[in-house]
C-alpha cells in the first residue's frame, strides 16, 4: 500500500505542479475536486466524472451522516464502493454545513449539537466523532473538524473562532487513526487578518498534518481580500505538503490562487450552475436560457471535448433548458466539470513549461472579451 505523500514536481513562480499519492490513486495538482455532496456528483454518472479528467471527488460528512448514515455506508463497503467511485475521495468535517444547514444548533467548547434539516432528529459532532465518521466513509483525505469563521468578523471574533478551531485540530489529530495511503488535513483559519492566519498556521504545523487547507475564504470577502490573505498564508505552509483552498471558486479565483501556491480546490459552482442553465466558457459564464441562443447552430464552446459541445448545438441546449428536459442540466453539468478539468490540466501544462504568467494573462484577456453569444 502506498504511503500518503505529495511530490512537488515543478514550480513556476509560486505556482506548483505536484502529485498527491493516496490509497485509491494519485491526484495531479493543481486539481479541481467536483463536489459529490450526498454520494453523487449531481446529474453525473461516476464514469462521466472520471471521463472529464477528475481524479478525486468530495463527499459531505454532514449530509452522509444524516442520510444514509455513516454506519450503513461502512457496512456497504465504504463510500468508494457505495457510490462506485474507485478513485480518491475527500470528505469535509461536517462543521461548515452544520452551521449553514442544520436547525437549532448549539455550539460548546466540545462540539456542536444540532437538529437534522430533514426530520429534526438530534445529532452531535465533535472532533472525535467527525474523525470516526470520515473513517467509516473511508475518505482518503479526512478534514480536521473546525469552525468556519463567519464573515464579517471582528479581529476578536476571528481570533476566538480560530483558537477554538486550533484546539479542535489537535483533538482531530489525536483521534485520527493513521493508515497507509490515508491523510488528515488541518485547516488554517483567522479570517482576513494576517497575524491570525500566521498564528493558525504555526499552531497547525506544531500539530503536524499530511496537508494544509485554507478555510474561511470565499465567504463574501471578495477576490482582492482573498488573494491578499493567500499572499500572507501560503508562504507559511510547508513546501512538501499539499495545500487546499476550500470552497473556491470561479476560474479566475483558481488561476489567481494557483499563482499564489495553492494545489487543490473544490466548489459547487460548476455543478450548481449546470442545473441553472449557466455554462462556464473561456469567455466567462453564459446563460443558455437566453433567447439569443435559440437559432445558434454552433457548439457551446469550440474545441471542448464534452458531449454537450461535441454532439450538440447551443440552440439544442437552449431548447432542452426551455423545455425543462432533464438532459439539459446533465449536459451543462458535464460541460462545466469538463471546463474546470480543462482549466486545471492547462494550468499543470503551463507550470511544467514555465509559462503560467502568460497563461493567466491570456485567460483574463479572453474573459474580458465577453460572452460567446456576442461573437
Ligand atoms: Zn463542453
Cell 460548476 locates to 270
The mean pLDDT value for 58-80 works out to 97
**Rounded distance between C-alpha atoms, residue 70 and residue 130, angstroms:** 10
* Per-residue pLDDT reduced to its tens digit, 163-207: 999 999 999 999 999 999 999 999 999 999 999 999 999 999 999
**373 CA distance to ligand 1 centroid (A)?**
15
**306 CA distance to ligand 1 centroid (A)?**
4
* Per-residue pLDDT reduced to its tens digit, 229-238: 999 999 999 9
Q: What is the mean pLDDT of the chain?
A: 96
Residues designated as active site: 92, 266
Question: In the chain, pLDDT over 70 holds for what percent of residues?
Answer: 99
Q: Annotated binding residue at 95?
A: yes
The mean pLDDT value for 211-229 works out to 96
So what's the pLDDT on residue 1? 65
Give the model's confidence band at 375: pLDDT under 50 very low, under 70 low, under 90 confident, else very high. low
**336 CA distance to ligand 1 centroid (A)?**
7
Q: Is the pLDDT of residue 373 over 80?
A: no
* Per-residue pLDDT reduced to its tens digit, 270-279: 999 999 999 9
So what's the pLDDT on residue 150? 83
So what's the pLDDT on residue 127? 97
DSSP 263-311: -EEE-SHHHHHHTTTEEEETTEEEETTSGGGTT--S-SSTT--SHHHHH
Q: Annotated binding residue at 93?
A: yes
Q: Is the pLDDT of residue 290 over 60?
A: yes
Q: Annotated binding residue at 319?
A: no
So what's the pLDDT on residue 149? 86
**332 CA distance to ligand 1 centroid (A)?**
8
Q: What is the dihedral of CA 49, 52, 58, 62, to 10 degrees?
A: -50
CB-hemisphere CA count at 13 Å for 344? Answer: 31
**Rounded distance between C-alpha atoms, residue 125 and residue 2, angstroms:** 31
Q: Annotated binding residue at 306?
A: yes
5-267, which class in CATH?
Answer: alpha beta
State the cell numbers at 369: 472579451
Domain with CATH 3.20.20.105 in the chain: 5-267
Query: What are the residues whose beta carbons fall under 8 Å from the beta carbon of 186, sequence distance 6 or more?
Result: 144, 169, 172, 173, 204, 207, 209, 211, 212, 213
CA pseudo-torsion sign 122, 126, 129, 135: positive
- Higher-confidence residue of 95 and 371: namely 95
Q: Which region among 120-124, 237-241, 307-311 has the lowest average model confidence (pLDDT)?
A: 120-124
**206 CA distance to ligand 1 centroid (A)?**
44
pTM exceeds 0.85, yes or no:
yes
The mean pLDDT value for 335-344 works out to 98
If 0-12 CB within 10 Å is exposed, 13-18 middle and 19+ buried, where does residue 182 land? buried
Cell 501544462 locates to 349
Q: Annotated binding residue at 311?
A: no
Amino acid at each position: 500500500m502506498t504511503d500518503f505523500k505529495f511530490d512537488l514536481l515543478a514550480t513556476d513562480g509560486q505556482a506548483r505542479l505536484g502529485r498527491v499519492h493516496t490509497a485509491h490513486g494519485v491526484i495531479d495538482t493543481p486539481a479541481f475536486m467536483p463536489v459529490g455532496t450526498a454520494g453523487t456528483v449531481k446529474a453525473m454518472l461516476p464514469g462521466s466524472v472520471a471521463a472529464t479528467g477528475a481524479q478525486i471527488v468530495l463527499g459531505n460528512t454532514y449530509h452522509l451522516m444524516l442520510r444514509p448514515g455513516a454506519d450503513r455506508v461502512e457496512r456497504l463497503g465504504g463510500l468508494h464502493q457505495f457510490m462506485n467511485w474507485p478513485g480518491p475521495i475527500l470528505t469535509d468535517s461536517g462543521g461548515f454545513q452544520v452551521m449553514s444547514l442544520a436547525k437549532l444548533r448549539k455550539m460548546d467548547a466540545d462540539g456542536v449539537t444540532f437538529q437534522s434539516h430533514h426530520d429534526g432528529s438530534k445529532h452531535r459532532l465533535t472532533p472525535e466523532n467527525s474523525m470516526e465518521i470520515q473513517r467509516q466513509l473511508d475518505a482518503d483525505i479526512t478534514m480536521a473538524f473546525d469552525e468556519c469563521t463567519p464573515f464579517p468578523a471582528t479581529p476578536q471574533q476571528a481570533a476566538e473562532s480560530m483558537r477554538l478551531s486550533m484546539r479542535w485540530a489537535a483533538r482531530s489529530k489525536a483521534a485520527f487513526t493513521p493508515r497507509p495511503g490515508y491523510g488528515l488535513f488541518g485547516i488554517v483559519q483567522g479570517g482576513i487578518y494576517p497575524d491570525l492566519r500566521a498564528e493558525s498556521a504555526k499552531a497547525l504545523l506544531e500539530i503536524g498534518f499530511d496537508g494544509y487547507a485554507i478555510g474561511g475564504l470565499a465567504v463574501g470577502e471578495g477576490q482582492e481580500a482573498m488573494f491578499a490573505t493567500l499572499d500572507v498564508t501560503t508562504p507559511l505552509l510547508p513546501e512538501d505538503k499539499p495545500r487546499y483552498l476550500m470552497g473556491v471558486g470561479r476560474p479566475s479565483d483558481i488561476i489567481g490562487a494557483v499563482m499564489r501556491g495553492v494545489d487543490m480546490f473544490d466548489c459547487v459552482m460548476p455543478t450548481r450552475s449546470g442545473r441553472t442553465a449557466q455554462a462556464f466558457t473561456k469567455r466567462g459564464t453564459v446563460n443558455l436560457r437566453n433567447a439569443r441562443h435559440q437559432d445558434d447552430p454552433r457548439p457551446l464552446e469550440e474545441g471542448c471535448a464534452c458531449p454537450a459541445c461535441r454532439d450538440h448545438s447551443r440552440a439544442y441546449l437552449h431548447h432542452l433548458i426551455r423545455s425543462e428536459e432533464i438532459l439539459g442540466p446533465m449536459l451543462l453539468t458535464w460541460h462545466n466539470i469538463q471546463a474546470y478539468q480543462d482549466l486545471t490540466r492547462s494550468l499543470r501544462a503551463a507550470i511544467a513549461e514555465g509559462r503560467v504568467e502568460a497563461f493567466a494573462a491570456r485567460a483574463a484577456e479572453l474573459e474580458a472579451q465577453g460572452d460567446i453569444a456576442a461573437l
